[in-house]
Amino acid sequence: MFRYFIKLGSLSIRKNPVLSALMVAAIAIGIGACMTVVNVYYVMNGDPIPAKSSELFYVQLDSWDPNEAVNDDGEPPDQVTYIDATALMAANRARRQVVSYQVGRVIQPEGEGARPFQVSGRASTADFFTMFDVPFQYGSGWDESADRSADQVVVLGRRTNDRVFGGEDSTGRRLVINGDSYRVVGVMDEWNPVPKFYDLTTGDFNDVEEVFMPFSVAIDKELSGWGNTNCWKPLGEGGWQAFLNSECVWMQMWVELGNEAEWAEYKAFLDAYTESQKALGRFQRPLNNSLLNVTEHLEAQEVVDDSVQILLVLAVLFLLVCLLNTIGLLLAKVMRRSGDVSLRRALGASRRAVFGQYITEAGMIGLAGGIIGIGLTRLGLTGIHVLYADLEWIDRVLGMDWVMVLTAVALAILSALAAALYPTWRAVRIHPASQLKSL
Amino acid sequence: MEIGPIWRAMWRNKSGYILIALQIAVTLAIMVNAVAIIQERSGLMARASGIDEDNIFHATSLVFAPDLDQRSLINEDLAALREIPGVIDAIATNSVPMRNGGWSMGLQVEPGVGVDGTGTAIYFTDDHGIETFGLNLVAGRDFRPEEITWNEPDEVRWPPSVIITRALAEALFPDESFEDVVGKTVYINQDDPMQVLGIVDRMQAPWVGWESVERSALVPMLRESSITRYVVRTQPGMLNELMPVVEELLATRSDNRIIDGLRTMADTRKRAYLDHASMIKMLSFIVTLLITITALGIVGLASFSVTRRTRQIGTRRALGATRPEILRYFVLENLIVSICGTTLGAGIAIGLNIWMVSAFDLAPMSWPIVPVAMLALIGVGLLATAGPARRASLVPPAVATRAV
């Protein structure tokens, strides 16, 4: 029976080419606009590290000003102080832990005519690479002993390695960075999590840094952060030491915990630490520590722009308009072919058969509209690329994967079916004899 | 005006008309909100930054050699920059308006902990700052060369004087006129006093979305920092010519640093408002597409309506109705649908706007948008009906007598 419906459907579509084309176009445009925005939203809202996102937790402590909250949302500051980061690291109460912050570095390649160039770097403790499953092209990260003895080692990004060492295995070789010599221990492979979840403070979708150095080395060299440094309390005298001992928040800390029990334990530890600091006169605000996993953290930091959300609302309404259009067109088609329906009913077709046929036809139109809609979505994404061409990372949120393609088709078919319900109901209600009289 | 018969005729076959009315309603809701957002964002983009944007560019000097005499380097750089023909002035600072990164502090009118402060952007500068940025000094005076202090990179010892923007003066001392703020003392870092030497009309902070964006302070300090931002103002029309000259000069003056981020203020502004500009374009495109789709829907419905009533039209014409009367019938029919649709749409639009204002922190829309949009959409509907209505008026009376 279904195959008969398909045959009838395609006959009907061919007999009304203009009307059918308009219907397909209406659905395609609606799907195109809607899916363009949905696609961007989907990528921005995606899980950048699905294998581990529920095991990685961002540490946030409310060490802020007792007289004024750090923001209006009642959340603790989005970074931690040097004192707290180092104290928590020393306590070592999680499976793995990492503290890091962004730094600016200038690489001075050797050789004739080689000009120094600037890169963004990250000062980090050793576990960064294992915690975040960073892929390596050559070598690996450094280990804890390098952290402790502040070895001048460095991990390069693939692009920098290509530029300085021609893409060869540079592990063991030395490189001059800001006047000092560092030994390369590893070269990362292409890695750009979307969004850049481990540090959202300077740009949710920025490139991963090109140079990684041990945290202790950066502190020794008095490298201040390249990201945001927020202080509520005036610094005392004493330059760098005073800055390290201050209440300024400028680094990011993540811990890896295996299960609920470990999470509860670590949270309790954080709270106990805060209490002990209160006794020393710090943490004068009410207890407000945060230990969110990756997806929760992305949401709390509002990675998906308001602009995208607004567009999503408008795009869904746009689809609604296109659907209303489609209903009108389908209705017109049904009314035009009412003679056809009543003839078939008079010849013995059941109501269900009429219903089935029109729904199938709508489904076919939906499928066609969905397929064209995919093309229009691609066009829409290209349009966004052109609009935002100045934004280096825009291409990262414009990829269309098979989930989105299937969603587009499914949405198109479902919309077409929904749009067809009313016209089909009208068709079903046509009396067998009513239209035969005028024949 | 035969509204009664038109209405009853429509009511007998209401589904098509209801669908178009609904389409018009949702279209209006989207239109109104999109236009409201476009208006808000255009307004934000139109704000002046207070500086002479057309003739200013900036570049970052990044020193990578350790233990370099930063002070001499900066002094010599500035001297060299200021000597270039066509350069009005130049300074070494930390940031520029709209750059999206910079330094902010709180200023208080009384010293001490727990006193409410006002957030302000900090721009380090010397006595050439006002001239370089092209600011408008409206009260008090500029810094004198002897008032400029130097700071080590890790120390921040705030100098005893400051120049602030008018908005900051009014925020700190709301009960006084801004001219009287000159000479008063404000406190930075809770306890460090700074006397207000002068007030400039306007200078925006680096963050365009910040609530304190109009509050900035010029601090007479040069910093021995490895990262210095040079800001250069040129004679009108000489910007493009002088940018490579400046880059070359700074790059060759010292091998111990790299020059990066050479950018005009126009480019900085473009980047700061990229999201706004793109949003405006996307919304405009969506609204245009939407109106086109709805217009086509109206054309479709009107054609259908005319085709279905060909016999009736012929009969009426045979009975004496004139062409304009037939035309008027269909125009009125469309007008009724449009008015119903836009009225419903206005309700949806306002409801949607209220929700979006609370969900997305938008500014509430200005209400005139609604009636203007309604009229526009009704106008579009009339245009769309024109074709089919004219076709209806051309139906010959002889149609009434035909059997087919």
CB B91 within 8 A of CB B108: no
Stretch 71-130 of chain B: residues touching chain A, C-beta under 8 Å: 113-114
Residue A234 belongs to a domain = yes
Same domain as A322, residue A269:
no
Cα dihedral B134/B136/B140/B143 (nearest 10): -10
Same domain as A374, residue A322:
yes
Same domain as B287, residue B155:
no
- Structure-token match 């000489």, residue found: B238
- Reading the block at residue B155, the tokens are 């120390």
Per the structure, the complete domain to which residue B155 belongs is given by 65-255
Domain boundary among B255, B286, B308: B255
Q: Which residues of A touch B33 (CB under 8 A)?
A: 314
Q: What is the pLDDT of residues B76-104, one digit of tens each?
A: 999 999 999 999 999 999 999 999 888 88
Same domain as A374, residue A313:
yes
**B219: closest CA among B350, B126, B146?**
B126
Residue B193 belongs to a domain = yes
Residue A405 belongs to a domain = yes
Stretch 141-180 of chain A: residues touching chain B, C-beta under 8 Å: 178-180
* Closest Cβ opposite residue B270 in set A33, A117, A390: A390
Please give the Cα distance from A80 to A199 (Å, whole number). Answer: 12
Same domain as A341, residue A420:
yes
Same domain as B113, residue B241:
yes
Residue B265 belongs to a domain = no
Q: pLDDT confidence of B1, banded at 50, 70, 90?
A: low
Please give the Cα distance from B41 to B122 (Å, whole number). Answer: 26
Domain boundary among A274, A300, A326: A300
Same domain as B203, residue B79:
yes
**B88: closest CA among B40, B142, B124, B52?**
B52
- Name the E strands within B171-226: 185-188, 192-200, 216-223
Residue A126 belongs to a domain = yes
Sorted by sequence, the CB contacts under 8 Å of residue B325 that are 6+ apart come out as B316
pLDDT reported for residue A100: 96
Domain boundary among A258, A281, A300: A300
Q: What is the pLDDT of residues A113-164, one digit of tens each?
A: 788 999 999 999 999 999 999 999 999 999 999 999 999 999 999 999 999 9
* Closest Cβ opposite residue B29 in set A179, A317, A422: A317
Residue A67 belongs to a domain = yes
Residue B261 belongs to a domain = no
- Structure-token match 């990684």, residue found: A212
Q: Is residue A106 classed as helix, strand or coil in its secondary structure?
A: strand
Question: Which chain B residue lies closest to A108 (C-alpha atoms)?
Answer: B64
Same domain as B129, residue B10:
no
CB A23 within 8 A of CB A326: yes
Burial status of residue B61 (CB atoms within 10 A of its CB: 0-12, 13-18, 19 or more): buried
Rounded to two decimals, what is the model's pTM?
Answer: 0.88
Burial status of residue A237 (CB atoms within 10 A of its CB: 0-12, 13-18, 19 or more): exposed
Section B358-381 average pLDDT: 91
Same domain as A83, residue A22:
no
Same domain as A294, residue A161:
yes
Residue A184 belongs to a domain = yes
Same domain as B237, residue B104:
yes
CA distance B51 to chain A (A): 23
Contact B26 A104 (CB under 8 A): no
Residue B263 belongs to a domain = no
CB A246 within 8 A of CB A230: no
Stretch 175-234 of chain B: residues touching chain A, C-beta under 8 Å: 189-192, 227
The number of folded domains in chain B is: 2
Same domain as A150, residue A132:
yes
Sorted by sequence, the CB contacts under 8 Å of residue B240 that are 6+ apart come out as none
DSSP H helical ranges for B254-368: 265-272, 274-308, 310-318, 323-360
* Closest Cβ opposite residue B275 in set A307, A325, A329: A307
Residue B268 belongs to a domain = no
Q: What is the pLDDT of residues B320-351, one digit of tens each?
A: 889 999 999 999 999 999 999 999 999 999 99
Contact A328 B301 (CB under 8 A): yes
Residue B110 belongs to a domain = yes
Residue A50 belongs to a domain = no
Same domain as B26, residue B123:
no
Mean pLDDT of chain B: 91
Residue B262 belongs to a domain = no
Same domain as A170, residue A201:
yes
Q: pLDDT confidence of B403, banded at 50, 70, 90?
A: low
Per the structure, the complete domain to which residue A121 belongs is given by 56-300
Section B223-227 average pLDDT: 88
Residue A68 or B127, more confident: B127
Long-range contacts of B354-357, Cβ-Cβ distance < 8 Å, separation of 24 or more: B356/A310, B356/A313, B356/B33
Please give the Cα distance from B30 to A94 (Å, whole number). Answer: 50
Same domain as B127, residue B13:
no
Residue B276 or B361, more confident: B276
The number of folded domains in chain A is: 2
Same domain as A369, residue A349:
yes
pLDDT reported for residue B67: 81
Residue A51 belongs to a domain = no
Stretch 368-397 of chain A: residues touching chain B, C-beta under 8 Å: 383-384, 387-388, 390-391
Same domain as A63, residue A41:
no
Same domain as B30, residue B105:
no
Same domain as B208, residue B179:
yes
**What DSSP assignment string belongs to A170-185?**
-TT-EEEETTEEEEEE
* Closest Cβ opposite residue B64 in set A116, A320, A329: A116
| Pairing verdict, β A180-188 and A56-60 | unpaired
CA distance A401 to chain B (A): 23
- Reading the block at residue A133, the tokens are 């499953």
Same domain as B187, residue B89:
yes
**Cα angle A223, A225, A230; round to 5:** 130
Q: pLDDT confidence of B404, banded at 50, 70, 90?
A: low
pLDDT reported for residue B23: 94
Same domain as A325, residue A348:
yes
Q: Is B69 on the interface with A (CB under 8 A)?
A: no
Residue A273 belongs to a domain = yes
Same domain as A319, residue A287:
no
Cis peptide before A286 (omega within 30 of 0): no
The list of chain A residues with pLDDT below 50 reads none
Residue B78 belongs to a domain = yes
- Rg of chain B taking only CA atoms, in angstroms: 33
Same domain as B364, residue B300:
yes
Same domain as B230, residue B119:
yes
Q: Determine which of B13, B17, B18, B19 to mutate to test the interface with A (most A C-beta atoms within 10 Å).
A: B19
CB B204 within 8 A of CB B47: yes
Q: Which residues of B touch A307 (CB under 8 A)?
A: 275, 279
pLDDT reported for residue A371: 95
Q: Which residues of A touch B156 (CB under 8 A)?
A: 235
**Residue A184 bridge partners (DSSP):** A154
Domain boundary among A269, A300, A331: A300
Half-sphere exposure of B95 (CA within 13 A, CB side): 20
- Reading the block at residue A100, the tokens are 């890091």
Please give the Cα distance from B182 to B194 (Å, whole number). Answer: 11
